[in-house]
Structure 1
Amino acid sequence: MGRTTGAAEASERNNTPRTHRWRRVLLAGLITGALVVPLSGAARPEIPAPAPAAPAPVTAATLDETYAANRANAAEASRMAAAHGNRERAAADRAMADPSRDFLSFDGRGSGLATEVFGDLARAERVAVLVPGSDTSIDTYDRFRDAARALYQRLAREAPQDTAVVAWLGYETPGTVSTTVATTGRAEQAAPKLREFIRQLRTLTDRKPRVSLLCHSYGSVVCGRAASHLDVDDIALIGSPGTGADTAADLRTAARVWAARGSDDWVAEVPHVRLDLLGTTVGFGTDPMSPSFGARVFAAGDGGHSDYFRPGSTSLANLARIALGETSEVTHG
């Protein structure tokens, strides 16, 4: 009996590395399939739109002029999309041209880019910048806007005079099912744009505002790539598949690095690995929720991947505390 048991234990020990290798091979095959299998019907005709507006350089004094120029550009984009027969895009552009909306930038070409402001940016002493994840475009913009607006409403109740929220759709996000969502390519393209935006944001006020970067899903990969050159106070990684860094220290930022994940978020099932496949690095490495990563983990409640900014949620309350600088009040996960 003892000899049989010992042999079984030895066999199990010997098979463990082999099992891990096969798991990695299987994972590589699955991810490779996701990357190289053609996506039928993924391409669509380009929707015509004007080139972005070119107002005077943005300063606190020219914000209203910038907002007006971008609303006018969105209105023209709506007319062009309608003439092209794309009623959905025409409606989305028309909504962005509403006089109540304030955009620092707008580009209706392709999937579209936009940077929307909630609050008085020139007077704000605390600014939260949201960076979205995959499948965010002008066509799906409302869900991203709802998140930013929910945060602004929460902040405005607590500090009505000196807070602003910026919804930064400043990069072409990957599709959730696409050849780009499992690699850092789009994030590397986006990182210098995010760095430049934060630099410009700092010039819009003499108040030296506290700036928090709230990065959702693939947006956390963007923030990870940009972190070392960002003048921000806090970086919150929510629903993150990883950042491409092994530890928070590897991000080389002076900002506090936070992480949270809802208990019903499917991203918890994403393998946290980095593999070299066909000359491309696939995956984003260490889970930001892992103790080995070293982020400040905070509570996000029982929400799913799209619930971090749900009004009344634990995650929204904690994100508001981070944005307000009330870090001692953040509840930990």
Structure 2
Amino acid sequence: MASRPWSSRARRALLASLVTASVALPVSGAARPAAVPAPAPAALAPLGTAESSVLEARYAAGREEIRAARDMAARHGDRRRAAALTAMAGPGRTFLMFDGRDGGRSAEVFGDLSRAGRIAVLVPGAGVDLDHYWRLRRDADALLDELGSGSAVIAWLGYRTPATLGPSSLTAGRAGEAAPRLRAFVRELGGAVPAARVSLLCHSYGSVVCARAASGLEVADVVLYGSPGTGAGSAAGLRTRATVRAGLGGDDWIALVPHTALPLPFVTVGFGADPTAPEFGAEVFDAGDAGHSDYLRPGSVSLRSIAGIVAGTAGTRHG
């Protein structure tokens, strides 16, 4: 009998090849630059409430941390990082937290959090750090513009993302480190803005992070897009009361990655089931022709779909 396309054996072989290539092949631009030194941030008191005066104090603390990191980068001779941090500390930029060490950690607010009835938390995937933060900021800006007044978007760069092409992007190690931090952040946010409708928007490897963090979180939606898988076999496996939604753009190369998990000594490579597959059980939204990095492109079908989910007005179809 003829073998079926993408048999289990073929998937495993391709995934093993991807692992080998990610370790053995030099990829121009994929390696992270040498670490730029930054000071350890001061400990933050819990947000407590999202009243304007409390938020302003938190934002002021964030600006001070960014300026301290900028000054250290300048002394180190990294003018590019110093210039980027100068812009981040500029008027109108609002950060709930910032840590310039080890690629950078931050949570930037777009919109008026104190008045927001709906909040989207963007969780990025591989390759996003302070030197590539513009991608996350671009997406947050576009989503806020689509949502309009009464909304806030938080760009959560709360973990050390894996390199885009490398072994760390094929295993759940970084997601395991990130999940407790995301869970703590969302719970703090929920306590500060208890009446707001919160959605987790999880791009690419960020969907692995969200899957590990989702259990017990009081969020309305967990939205997985451009996902390589989650490490769970089904939406029920995320153990969340939130509505799990998934989308895959027609021009997204992630569709070519085999959705399987390959157990190796001490680690499992790959993330298993495709969240847009019918058997996964997520509610599938229309992502149009989105490529891997442009789900929140202004004017796109995918942006309209995701904004509708955040607003609570989305129509969905089952995969």
Give TM-score, length-normalised by structure 2.
0.92
Give the equivalent residue in structure 2 for 1:276: 263
Which amino acid in structure 1 is aligned with residue 110 of structure 2? F
State the shift of 1:190 in Å: 0.8
Q: Which moved more, 1:218-227 or 1:32-41?
A: 32-41
State the shift of 1:35 in Å: 5.0
Number of residue equivalences:
313
* 1:270–1:98 distance in 2 versus 1, CA, 3 Å: same
State the shift of 1:104 in Å: 0.4
Q: How does 1:138-149 map to 2 (within 5 A)?
A: 138-149=130-141
Which amino acid in structure 2 is aligned with residue 80 of structure 1? M
Q: Are 1:113 and 2:102 matched, yes or no?
A: no
State the shift of 1:247 in Å: 0.9
Q: Are 1:319 and 2:306 matched, yes or no?
A: yes
Q: Are 1:231 and 2:236 matched, yes or no?
A: no
CA distance in 1, matches of 2:230, 2:303: 22
Q: Are 1:245 and 2:232 matched, yes or no?
A: yes
State the shift of 1:290 in Å: 0.5
**Structure with more relative contact order (C-alpha pairs < 8 Å, separation 6 or more):** 2
Q: Is the CA contact (8 Å cut-off) linking 1:32 and 1:277 kept in structure 2?
A: no
Q: How does 1:167-206 map to 2 (within 5 A)?
A: 167-206=155-194
Q: Which moved more, 1:114-123 or 1:100-109?
A: 114-123
Secondary structure of 2:292's partner? Answer: coil
CA distance in 2, matches of 1:25, 1:204: 45
Secondary structure of 1:140's partner? Answer: helix
State the shift of 1:128 in Å: 0.8
Which amino acid in structure 2 is aligned with residue 65 of structure 1? A
Q: Are 1:46 and 2:39 matched, yes or no?
A: no
State the shift of 1:331 in Å: 7.4
State the shift of 1:302 in Å: 1.1
Larger radius of gyration: 1
The C-alpha deviation readout for 1:183-237, integer Å capped at 9, x for no partner, is 111111111111101100012135x211111110000111111111221001111
Give the equivalent residue in structure 2 for 1:306: 293
CA distance in 1, matches of 2:73, 2:287: 39
CA distance in 1, matches of 2:34, 2:175: 25
Q: Could you tell me the percent identity over the aligned residues?
A: 54
Unaligned 5+ residue runs, structure 1? 1-11
CA distance in 2, matches of 1:66, 1:22: 52
State the shift of 1:123 in Å: 2.0
Match of 2:95 among 93, 103, 109: 103
CA distance in 2, matches of 1:55, 1:222: 23
CA distance in 2, matches of 1:239, 1:292: 18
The C-alpha deviation readout for 1:97-142, integer Å capped at 9, x for no partner, is 1121000010111200110001121221111111000000011001
CA distance in 1, matches of 2:105, 2:266: 30
Give the equivalent residue in structure 2 for 1:152: 144
CA distance in 2, matches of 1:322, 1:21: 34
Q: Are 1:133 and 2:125 matched, yes or no?
A: yes
CA distance in 1, matches of 2:45, 2:98: 15
State the shift of 1:39 in Å: 5.3
* 1:284–1:40 distance in 2 versus 1, CA, 3 Å: closer
CA distance in 2, matches of 1:323, 1:20: 37
Give the equivalent residue in structure 2 for 1:60: 50
State the shift of 1:38 in Å: 7.4
Q: Are 1:212 and 2:204 matched, yes or no?
A: no
Which amino acid in structure 2 is aligned with residue 262 of structure 1? G
Where does structure 1 differ by over 6 angstroms across 4 or more consecutive aligned residues?
none
Which amino acid in structure 2 is aligned with residue 66 of structure 1? R
Secondary structure of 1:95's partner? Answer: helix
The C-alpha deviation readout for 1:136-194, integer Å capped at 9, x for no partner, is 001100111110111011111xxx1x211111111111011112000111111111111
* 1:38–1:92 distance in 2 versus 1, CA, 3 Å: same
* 1:306–1:20 distance in 2 versus 1, CA, 3 Å: closer
Give TM-score, length-normalised by structure 1.
0.88
Which amino acid in structure 2 is aligned with residue 64 of structure 1? E
